[in-house]
């Protein structure tokens, strides 16, 4: 994701924040977050190609829900966050996090009360199942494989949007759970300004240093023209910065010293 800031001379500096999840659960949360952001973007547009793209993301969302015990994973993560917050803010300071813990409790209760897997409501939708099989079964998605899909895409934009919103309504609980979970993770930060000598940085961790970290963010100024490749475990982390060149056949590790900001996020 891209960020902007203005220096003392009034110059606008842009930078990119690269996020590295430290568990498969958080990786899944980030993937789901991207699905919802892409859906929100395409739903604002009227063209049939935006609707086609929204359908593609919707079907990917349904597939992601069917491939794992997503509801169980969310309940575990939200419960873990709630317990961590209550331990960190012992009485009499728990009123400071009351709104957050109450929100977590509400989401947990709704997930427990939800009948079946998240996204199951679309498994019996013959129209979407046919679209999945005929138009998105290969790497090359198209609209010519199913005439009824072409007919639906020719409906007025407001009708297509209404259908999509109805199909997405039962995912609101999932979206709220993902959004809240990632917001809590990102709001607890430890930020450091560092330098990678000749494009390489390594750091060893103490036993407790990474216990609560769930996402590592690496932020670089865009005018440097590099991107990071990060590997991390409970004992240490290494980052290699590669020069970005569209004309090159392969990216090369930067030979320059790279100034960057690293942020450890986690509840």
| Complete domains list, the chain, with CATH | 25-182 (1.10.3900.10), 188-265 (2.60.440.10)
Q: What angle do CA 84, 36, 222 make, to 5 degrees?
A: 85
Residue 92 token pair = 């009499």
Q: Pick the range with the lowest mean pLDDT from 5-9, 96-100, 207-211.
A: 5-9
Q: Residue 195: what pLDDT? A: 96
At residue 26 the predicted structure's pLDDT band, cuts being 50, 70 and 90, is: very high
Which range of 95-104, 165-174, 202-211 scores highest in mean pLDDT? It is 165-174
pLDDT tens-digit readout, 144-186: 778 999 999 999 999 999 999 999 999 999 999 999 999 999 9
Contact 260, 196 (CB under 8 A): yes
Q: Among all chains, which residue has been given the structure tokens 């009351």?
A: 98
pLDDT tens-digit readout, 50-70: 999 999 999 999 999 988 789
> CB neighbours of 64 closer than 8 A, spacing ≥ 6?
28, 31, 32, 35, 70
* CA-wise closest residue to 226 among 251, 262, 192, 208: 251
Report DSSP state, residue 119: T
Alpha carbons 103 and 255: distance in angstroms, whole number: 48
């Amino acid at each position: 994701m891209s960020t902007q800031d203005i220096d003392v001379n009034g110059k606008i500096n842009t930078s990119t924040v690269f996020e590295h999840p430290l568990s498969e659960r958080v990786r899944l949360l980030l993937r789901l977050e991207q699905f919802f952001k892409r859906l929100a973007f395409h739903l604002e547009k009227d063209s049939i190609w935006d609707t086609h793209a929204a359908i593609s993301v919707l079907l990917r969302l349904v597939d992601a829900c069917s491939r794992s015990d997503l509801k169980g994973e969310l309940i575990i993560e939200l419960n873990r966050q709630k317990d961590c917050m209550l331990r960190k803010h012992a009485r009499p300071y728990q009123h400071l996090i009351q709104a957050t813990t109450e929100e977590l409790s509400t989401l947990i209760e709704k997930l427990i009360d939800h009948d079946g897997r998240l996204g199951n409501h679309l498994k019996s939708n013959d129209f979407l199942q046919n679209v999945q099989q005929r138009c998105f079964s290969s790497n090359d998605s198209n609209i010519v494989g199913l005439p009824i899909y072409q007919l639906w895409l020719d409906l007025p934009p407001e009708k297509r949007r209404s259908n999509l919103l109805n199909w997405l309504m039962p995912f609101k609980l999932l979206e709220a759970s993902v959004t809240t979970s990632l917001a809590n993770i990102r709001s607890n930060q430890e930020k450091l300004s560092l330098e990678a000598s000749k494009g390489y940085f390594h750091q060893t961790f103490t036993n407790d240093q990474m216990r609560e970290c769930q996402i590592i963010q690496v932020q670089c100024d865009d005018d440097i023209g590099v991107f990071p490749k990060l590997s991390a475990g409970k004992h240490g982390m290494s980052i290699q910065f590669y020069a970005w060149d569209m004309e090159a056949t392969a990216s090369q590790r930067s030979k320059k010293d790279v100034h960057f900001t690293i942020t450890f996020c986690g509840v």
